[in-house]
Amino acid sequence: MSDPSSAPPTFDRRDPPTSEVLWCAAPQWEDTPVLSLDDLGARWGRIVIASAHPDDETLGTGALAAELADRGLPVTVVVATAGEKSHDIADERGRSRLADRRRREVVRAVATLAPQATVVQLTYPDTDLESSVEAVSADLAAHLDAHTLLLAPWLRDGHADHDALGRAAVAAGVRAEVAVAFYPVWLWHWSTPAELDWHHLVAVEPSPVALRRKRAALECFSSQTTAWDPDPGRDDPAAVLDVQAMARARRPMEALFDPDGVLPRLPASSREHRNRHRAAVFDDMYRVGADAWATQGSFYERRRRDLVMALLGRPSYPRALEVGCANGYLTSALCERVGHLSALDVSGTAVAHARALAPAAHIRVGAAPGDLPRGPFELVVLSEIGYFLTPLEWLVTLQRARACLAPEGELVLCHWQRPTVDIPLDGPLVHEHAHHALGEPDTRYADADLSIETWTGAPSVAQREGRESSGADA
């Protein structure tokens, strides 16, 4: 995997894929640098995305395209083939119809991502880009200038057309003297965290708006997301983009490969700067008073706390951790059911208020994910914190929260589900990402305002009390 010039991998998309839970559990995410979108825009004033087939650009880098377009960068998508062989269609007429449909789909999808973007559709035959690398390279070079960053499929993505287009992009970059970076698509299917060349990976954290535009764009590719066949008399072939492929595409972060010797290193953002800024914002809020979130007297807040407490699976816990305790109202309630409660918050001012309200708890200043203690804890509570973290921070926070649970420990998430403004994520994205990272929850409560979910390996309340039967003999 570390040598792009070695023999490319081979795989069959019908083989069982590497699960999203396994990818999300990879410890290497914690040290993965995050692309600085501000610095990227300052360094390159234009983006060209090379796509082997209609949908590759959206699957691999759709949210980044939407984000950069919103920041004013012109975006051009160059599609090398019409993808007419994505389904096993024997007759020329059927393949032509599929090609026309896929060409229309990519135009709609790119318009959804970046309304001002340009789509250039080349006419190379699907599954045979290998024989046209030099010609494709010349076509790509015609759309490049000195201010362009070229994005192309990773050189070892595993699909022959993707790998060939990656090589064509390298040659085009040399020809036009422009920078080239690469995005994976099928690599997530066949590779594993142990095989991945993490050294060259850079995470991309688009805004919730860009992520939702990517999701809308993915819906444009109905020829790939549903079973499709132009002949109603034949059995429908399976969808190319199945549930697992769509789960990968719906991650709240994307990834680029930045191999040595192909371009200057992609600019990375500073985690320390983010934490300092976040702490300063919350400190300013709490300097006004302890009730910065209008918690006192709010029925919504009291109801939220009561629902969290009601959904806890045990009457008491020896040890518990609350991450993001804010002003300490939930902390105070947890103290009634926890022998030793640890809590942390990024704001020193909030911690001072929480200590006054919940003096029995052990509360300190700390930022997620880096300052989460090792545990073990029988209970970990993450309430109203996930959307203040970036996607990668949230993923690593989930990893660490799960790691510090005692055997049969309980992890609780509670988040507002209505729209958020000027923060990295929103409640639905936070909980969906948790499903990818942790699997489906054991307990779920949801209404129009909030969602509360729990994960535990413990028996249910009824099982622990021997109430497993509801019949007359119970």
Asked whether residue 5 is domain-assigned, the answer is: no
pLDDT by position in tens, the chain (length 474): 445 556 667 777 788 899 999 999 999 999 999 999 999 999 999 999 999 999 999 999 999 999 999 999 999 999 999 999 988 887 888 889 999 999 999 999 999 999 999 999 999 999 999 999 999 999 999 999 999 999 999 999 999 999 999 999 999 999 999 999 999 999 999 999 999 989 999 999 999 999 999 999 999 999 998 876 554 444 445 788 888 899 999 999 999 998 865 545 788 887 766 666 676 666 666 666 666 666 778 899 999 999 999 999 999 999 999 999 998 999 999 999 999 999 999 999 999 999 999 999 999 999 999 999 998 999 999 999 999 999 999 999 999 999 999 999 999 999 999 998 889 999 999 999 999 999 999 999 999 999 999 999 888 888 888 886 655 554
Q: Are 100 and 168 members of one domain? A: yes
Q: Are 198 and 331 members of one domain? A: no
Identify the CATH number of the domain in which residue 197 sits.
3.40.50.10320
Identify the CATH number of the domain in which residue 282 sits.
3.40.50.150
pLDDT at position 288: 66
Asked whether residue 204 is domain-assigned, the answer is: yes
Tokens (6 digits) for 380:
């970990």
Q: Are 212 and 290 members of one domain? A: no
Q: Are 248 and 389 members of one domain? A: no
Asked whether residue 193 is domain-assigned, the answer is: yes
pTM assigned to the model: 0.89
Q: Are 235 and 287 members of one domain? A: no
Q: Are 254 and 388 members of one domain? A: no
Asked whether residue 2 is domain-assigned, the answer is: no
Asked whether residue 467 is domain-assigned, the answer is: no
Asked whether residue 317 is domain-assigned, the answer is: yes
Q: How far is CA 190 from CA 3, 128, 163, 462, in A?
A: 17, 21, 14, 41
Strands 362-365 and 46-51: unpaired
Helices (H), 416-456: 427-438
- Side by side, the strands of the sheet bearing 317-323 are 362-365, 338-345, 317-323, 377-383, 405-416, 450-456, 443-446
pLDDT at position 53: 97
DSSP string, 160-190: HHHHHHHHHHHHHHHHHT-EEEEE-STHHHH
Q: Are 179 and 237 members of one domain? A: yes
Asked whether residue 473 is domain-assigned, the answer is: no
Closest CA to 368 of 323, 416, 430, 325: 323
User: How many CB atoms within 10 Å of residue 45?
Assistant: 14
pLDDT at position 233: 46
pLDDT at position 351: 94
Task: Encode burial over 245-278: b for 16+ CB neighbours within 10 A, e otherwise.
Answer: bbbbbbbbbbbbbbbeebbeebbebeeeebbeeb
Asked whether residue 470 is domain-assigned, the answer is: no
Q: Are 52 and 125 members of one domain? A: yes
**Of 216, 239, 269, which marks where a domain is finished?**
269
pLDDT at position 472: 52
3-state secondary structure 51-65: ECCCCHHHHHHHHHH
Q: Which domain holds residue 362?
A: 277-458
Q: Are 370 and 394 members of one domain? A: yes
Q: Are 217 and 149 members of one domain? A: yes
Q: How far is CA 160 from CA 16, 58, 130, 186, in A?
A: 19, 19, 7, 11
pLDDT at position 237: 54
Burial class (CB in 10 A: 0-12, 13-18, 19+), 395: buried
Domain count for the chain: 2
Q: Are 281 and 265 members of one domain? A: no
Q: Are 173 and 32 members of one domain? A: yes
pLDDT at position 474: 45
